[in-house]
Amino acid sequence: MHSSETTLQQFRGFTCQGHYFDVPLDYNSPDSQRIKIYAREVTSTQNASVQNLPWLVFLQGGPGFAAPRPESLDGWLKRALKDHRVLLLDQRGTGLSTPVTHETLAAIPTAQSQADYLKHFRADNIVRDCETIRATITDGAPWAVLGQSYGGFCITTYLSIAPEGLSKAIILGGLPPLVNSPDEVYRSTYKRVIEKNNLFYQRFPADVHAIDKIVTHLRSHHVELPTTEVLSAHRFLQLGISFGMTCAGNNMNAIHYLLEGAFVSPSEKDKLSYNFLRNVERMLSYNTNPIYSLLHEAIYCQNNASKWSAERIANQFPEFQSDHRPTFFTGEMIYPWMFDEYECLKPLKEAAQILAAYDQWPKLYDVAVLRKNTVPCVATIYYNDMYVERRFAEETADNIRGIKIWVTNEYEHDAIRQDGENVLDRLLHLLNDPTK
């Protein structure tokens, strides 16, 4: 079932219209529980009367984050709307698509039933949602997809299980590793995080002392965030998740500036300032997007259990042990202690344990199908990407027939936010150039 918002939302240069779609939670049991999927159709004012404008579906990074809410005609959206009608999909469980939060999961009575519910929120079912929507709004015609980071993982699954639905595919920093478990992924990404930590301390050598002082204070004092949650040393060190980004306010420079006002001054005793604590709280979004924590390791699993991979693999790297100096930040890793410290993750601890032990995750990629691919594809591989290991991305590209690759060290993982209009324009030209 499909319903549309009756009122168009008017912005300068473009309009938006929301659509809701009724889909099964479990596509293997289509007559069982149903959920809603929300997608926002965006059209430029200039193209409002153009008939048969091709669709471009945007798949957000994550997992567990809603599609962008457009406010102005700029960035990648400006370029996309020149010759497409864009569909911003809230992937199942995010945004307005039957959201998964600690509040909605509280209505599910047991940890086992919560885990069973969450098993349906990976890329394979996101692709099936896309196919259900496509059949409804394109009269069955294939459409183009653009995926950022985890959105690219979803596209690779799309190319594996429903390539007939695609006219072209554009992947931004999201060629997934074709592995069966996360262990090998984390062995590589921890090395990337070490490189970023070394770069941080080369750039800001005085921060060695500043961070050591903060971490020592947190290990010897009970410190509460404005939410009254405890700020532990390892929670503070999760700020390193920003080290692979370049956009203002969300990069290693922002962490450096955060440290400037860490302690109340002047003060007779060391006390971490309210502004510092408030900003630490703001920069870590694990409370608001639980799918990210609950399923992050599962996105790498095919017929294997994750068994808290990041926690286990960290023990292989002395750089992340508490006695290492300088103190190293961690990156895009999920740890079991988070379900003891983040207030909105605490009620989900048992479900998280069940998911970490689950070893029947379905296959997400079909290498045989990818090697026979006929869908025009293009992808970026960011040379210094902290989140998507370049070596694995290149191996995946080698297994997708006909894909065109742009390997660059000009940008990092957030290129779509830093310079989206030019990045997308370059990829579209590369995709359409018969000589490349």
What is the mean pLDDT of each successive set of 10 residues along the chain, which is 436 residues long? 80 96 95 95 94 95 97 97 97 98 97 98 98 94 98 98 98 96 96 98 97 96 95 98 92 96 83 96 93 98 97 97 95 98 98 98 98 98 96 98 97 95 97 84
| Non-local CB neighbours of 424 within 8 Å, separated by 6+ positions | 76, 79, 80, 146, 170, 416
Q: What is the pLDDT of residue 268?
A: 63
- Residue pair 57/51 in contact by the 8 Å Cβ criterion: no
* 232: annotated active-site residue: no
- Is-cis flag, bond preceding 70, omega within 30? no
Q: Is 413 a catalytic residue?
A: yes
Return d(Cα 38, Cα 54) in angstroms, integer: 20
Q: Give the pLDDT of residue 10.
A: 93
Query: Using CA atoms, how far apart are residues 234 and 334, in angstroms rounded to an integer?
Result: 11
Helix (H, G, I), strand (E, B) or coil at 57: strand
Residue of 120, 217, 296, 413 marked catalytic: 413
What is the number of residues in the chain?
436
Backbone angles phi, psi at 193, to 5 degrees: -65, -35
Give the pLDDT confidence score for residue 51 in this predicted structure. 85
As given in the structure block, the two tokens for residue 199 are: 């770069």
Q: Which residues pair with 277 in a beta bridge?
A: none
Choose, from 90, 129, 385, 414, the residue flagged as catalytic: 385
User: Exactly one of 44, 97, 149, 309 is catalytic; which is it?
Assistant: 149
pLDDT of residue 24: 97
Q: In the prediction, which pLDDT does 350 show? A: 98
Whole-number pLDDT of residue 294: 98
Where does 9-84 show beta strands of DSSP type E? 9-11, 14-24, 34-44, 55-59
**CA-wise closest residue to 334 among 287, 294, 385:** 294
415: Cβ contacts below 8 Å, ≥ 6 apart: 172, 173, 380, 382, 423
Predicted local confidence at residue 6, as pLDDT: 66
Torsion of the alpha carbons at 27, 30, 36 and 37, rounded to the nearest 10: 40
Quick one: pLDDT at residue 178?
96
Is residue 433 part of the annotated active site? The answer reads no
Residues 301, 182: contact at Cβ < 8 Å? yes
**In this predicted structure, what is the pLDDT of residue 186?**
97
Alpha-carbon distance of 426 to 408, in angstroms, equals 12
